Chains A and B, each alone.
Chain A
C-alpha cells in the first residue's frame, strides 16, 4: 500500500519518535523532573480548585439566606435587639418580610468546640428536641433519638432529644449548628421575651437592597445592616486569605522547584550538546533540533500539567482535599465534611498553565537555540 503521508508529516513523526526515545534514554532524570513538576501543579491546582469550589459552594448556600441582617450595636459591640425594633422596620417602605432571629454560641468541653445555637419556630423544632449539623452529629456520635445534655451559662443542665441531623448539602454553613425551639433557646440562654439577637429582612426589589439598608441605618442609628453580598464577600476574602497563607507557606517548595526546573531547562549537559552537534553534522537543520527539543519540553510540561491537574481534581472533588482541608475550611475544631460540586474556573486553569508550562518551555528553548546555531564542526574535534 503506498504511503500517502507527506515528507513534512513524516519528518514531524520522526522528530516526535526521536524525542520520545531521548526522553526514555534519560528516564531517571526526566522522571524526577516530571514528578517534581507534577507535584507542584498538583499543589497549586488543588489550592485553586478547592478555594474556587468553596467560593461556589458558599455562593450556592448563601443564596437562600436573608438579603439583609440587622444587628444592634452598643459601644461598638453586637447587642440584643430590644422590643419595638421590628415594628419600626415594618414601617420602612420596601421591606417585604422581617423576622427576629435568636442565636448564640455554646462551648462544648467534650470536643473543645463551639456550637452555634439557633432558635426555629415550634412547627419546625418541637420543644425539648434539637436538630444538629452533620459535622456536630459525627463529632458527638449523635443520631435521631439520642439525648444530649448541655450546661447553660447559668449552670443549669438541659437535656435535648435529637430529632434529626441536618442535610449534609448545607454542611459548609451548618457544620456546628444546633436548632432548637424559641422557648428552649430563651430558657437556655436566659433571653428576655421580645428580645432578639438580630433581625433578618427580605426586600421587595433586590435592586433596592442598598437603599433599604441606608433607610434602616437612618431610622435606627444604633443598628448595623449587613447585606448578603457582604457576607458572601467576607467568605470569599477568607478563602482568598487562607489560599494566600498556604501559598506563602509553600513558596519555599515552589521556589526550589523553579530553581530545579530552570537549572534543568536552561543548562545543557555536555552529552546533550554533543548530541546536538552530531545531529547537525549528519544533516539535521537548526530548526529540526529546536523543534525536537521543543517537543521534549512541551511533552514534559504538558504531561506534568495534566497529571498534576487531574490528580488535583481527583484530590479535591473525589477525596474532598484531605491535604488542604484543615487549612482551607478552617472551622475551629469541627471540620465540615461535604462533597464539593466540581467547579472549575477557566481563567484559573489558564493562569496556572501560563505560569507552569510556558516558563519551562521558554527556559528550554534559549539554550537549545544557542547550541543549535553553532557550527557543527565541533563533533569533528
Chain B
C-alpha cells in the first residue's frame, strides 16, 4: 500500500546546522496491518511518519501510495490525499483549546464541504463507540488526559481514512489508558484500517495488536 524507496530527509540543508533525519529508508507497508516503529528519541521515527502521512516531502527518494508516486506532488494534492486517506493522532494530541470536543472532532470535515448535520452525526457515532458521548459539548481543556486522547482518535476517524498514523500514542497515558488505547487499535484493524505508529512503550510494541515492528536508529532501519 505504501512504498518508500531510498528516502532521505535533511533539515536546515546547506546550513551549518544541517541534520539528516533519515538516511536511505526502503520499506513497504501493508494495508490492514498495524506497523509500529520503534527506536530511541531522535532516531527518525516521527520524520518517517510525517513523510508517509504527506505532512512533509522527502529531500530525496520516492514515496508511493497505492502505486502512485506522491513525493513530488504539489501541496494542494498532498493535502487532498492527507484529508481523504490519513487520520492523525499526535503525541501532543493538538486539540484546539476553547472549542468543544465535538467542534474539534468535526474540524477535519470542514474542507470536505460535508453538511454540518452529517458531520455531527458521524462525530456522535464515534463518541458513542469511544464511550465519550457525555462529553460531546465539553471544552477540550476540561477533559481528562484519556478523554482528550479519545477526542483526538475521533478526530482522526471523522473523514473515515484508510490509514491511521499515531505518534507515540501512549506516551502521556497511564497503563490502564494505554491498554484501553490498544483495544481501540484492535478495532481499527478489525475495520480494515492500516495503522502506523511510533512508540518506545513495550506495552505497545509487544502487543498482539501490533503485526509488525520496525526498528530505526540514526535515520536507518535496524531490524524488521
Asked whether, in the complex, the Cβ of B79 is within 8 Å of the Cβ of A7, the reply is no
Q: Is A249 an interface residue (CB 8 A)?
A: no
The answer on a CB contact under 8 Å between A284 and B110 is yes
Known: A21-B99, A379-B94. A285 touches B114 (CB 8 A): no
Are the CB atoms of B111 and A21 closer together than 8 Å?
Answer: no
Contact for B114 among A10, A274, A284, CB less than 8 A: A10
Is there an interface contact between A281 and B55, defined as CB atoms closer than 8 Å?
Answer: yes
* Bound Cα distance from A73 to B50, whole angstroms: 89
B145 to chain A, nearest CB (A): 18
Report whether A281 and B94 are in contact in the complex, using a CB–CB cutoff of 8 Å: yes
B3 beta carbon closer than 8 Å to chain A = no
CB <8 Å contact, B115 and A10? yes
| Chain A residue with Cβ nearest B85 | A283
Q: Does A247 contact B (CB under 8 A)?
A: no
Beyond A25-B98, A379-B90, A380-B50, is A280–B103 a contact (Cβ under 8 Å)? Answer: no
User: B110, A18: Cβ atoms under 8 Å?
Assistant: yes
Q: Are B96 and A275 in contact (CB under 8 A)?
A: yes
User: Judging by beta carbons under 8 Å apart, are B49 and A283 in contact?
Assistant: no
- Hey, which chain A residues are within 8 Å of B108, CB to CB? 282-284
| Residues A10 and B99 in contact, CB atoms below 8 Å apart | no
Q: Tell me the nearest residue of chain B to A10, going by C-beta.
A: B113
Structural contact, A380 and B90, CB atoms closer than 8 A? yes
Chain A 282-300 interface residues, beta-carbon cutoff 8 Å to B = 282-286, 288
Closest Cβ–Cβ distance, residue A271 to chain B (whole Å): 8
A15 contacts the other chain (CB 8 A): yes
Majority SS of interface residues in chain B? Answer: helix
The reply to whether the CB of A14 lies closer than 8 angstroms to some CB of chain B is: yes
Least Cβ–Cβ distance between A372 and chain B, in angstroms: 10
Known interface pairs A5-B115, A25-B98, A375-B55; A282-B76 also in contact (CB < 8 Å)? no
**A3 interface hit (Cβ, 8 Å):** yes
Question: With an 8 A cutoff between CB atoms, is B173 at the interface?
Answer: no
Interface pair B113/A6, CB less than 8 Å apart: yes
Q: Is A376 part of the contact surface with B, judged by Cβ < 8 Å? A: yes
- Residue of B55, B91, B99, B112 with most partner-chain A CB within 10 A: B55
B85 vs chain A, min Cβ distance (A): 10
Q: Which residues of A contact B113 (CB under 8 A)?
A: 6-11, 14
Q: Which of B82-117 contact A (CB under 8 A)?
A: 82-83, 88, 90-92, 94, 96-99, 103, 107-117
Q: Given that A278-B96, A283-B83 are known contacts, is A380 also in contact with B103, CB under 8 Å in the complex? A: no
| C-alpha gap A379/B90 in the complex (Å) | 8
Closest B residue by C-beta to A375: B56
Is there a chain A Cβ closer than 8 Å to B148's Cβ?
A: no
Nearest A-chain residue to B139, judged by Cβ: A25
CB-based A-B contact count at 8 angstroms: 95
Q: Give B27 Cβ to nearest chain A Cβ, in Å.
A: 18
Asked if residues B94 and A278 are in contact (CB atoms below 8 Å), the reply is yes
User: Does A14 lie within 8 Å of B110, measured CB to CB?
Assistant: yes
**What 1/0 flags go to B138-180 for Cβ under 8 Å of A?**
0000000000000000010001000000010000000000000
User: What distance in Å separates the Cβ of B5 from its nearest Cβ neighbour in chain A?
Assistant: 20
A375 to B107 CA separation, bound complex (whole angstroms): 19
Q: How far is the CB of A168 from chain B (nearest CB, A)?
A: 55
Closest to B100 in A: A21
Greatest chain A CB density within 10 A among B47, B111, B159 is at B111
Contacting pair B46 A381 (CB below 8 A)? yes
Complex CA distance for A70 and B114, rounded to whole angstroms: 78
Which has the most chain B C-beta neighbours within 10 Å: A24, A277, A376, A381? A376
Query: Is A279 on the interface with B (CB-CB < 8 A)?
Result: yes
The reply on B75 being an interface residue by CB < 8 A is yes
A377 interface contact, C-beta 8 A: yes
Verify if A88 is at the interface (C-beta below 8 Å from B). no
Asked if B115 contacts A3 (CB within 8 A), the reply is: yes
Complexed CA–CA distance, A381 and B19 (Å)? 15
Within 8 Å by CB of A21, from B90, B91, B92, B103, lies: B103
When C-beta atoms are compared, the residue in chain A nearest to B83 turns out to be: A283
Q: In the complex the two chains form, what is the Cα distance from A8 to B94 in whole Å?
A: 27
Q: Chain A residues in contact with chain B, CB under 8 A? A: 3, 5-11, 13-15, 17-18, 21, 24-25, 274-275, 277-286, 288, 373, 375-377, 379-381
Give B residues with C-beta under 8 Å from A.
Answer: 46-47, 49-50, 55-57, 75-76, 79-80, 82-83, 88, 90-92, 94, 96-99, 103, 107-118, 155, 159, 167
List 8 A-B pairs, minimum CB-CB distance, nearest first: A7-B113, A283-B83, A25-B98, A14-B110, A377-B50, A377-B56, A377-B55, A282-B108
| Interchain Cβ contacts under 8 Å between A and B, 17 examples | A5-B115, A7-B113, A11-B111, A14-B113, A14-B116, A17-B116, A21-B98, A24-B98, A277-B94, A279-B107, A282-B88, A282-B155, A286-B76, A379-B55, A379-B92, A379-B94, A380-B167
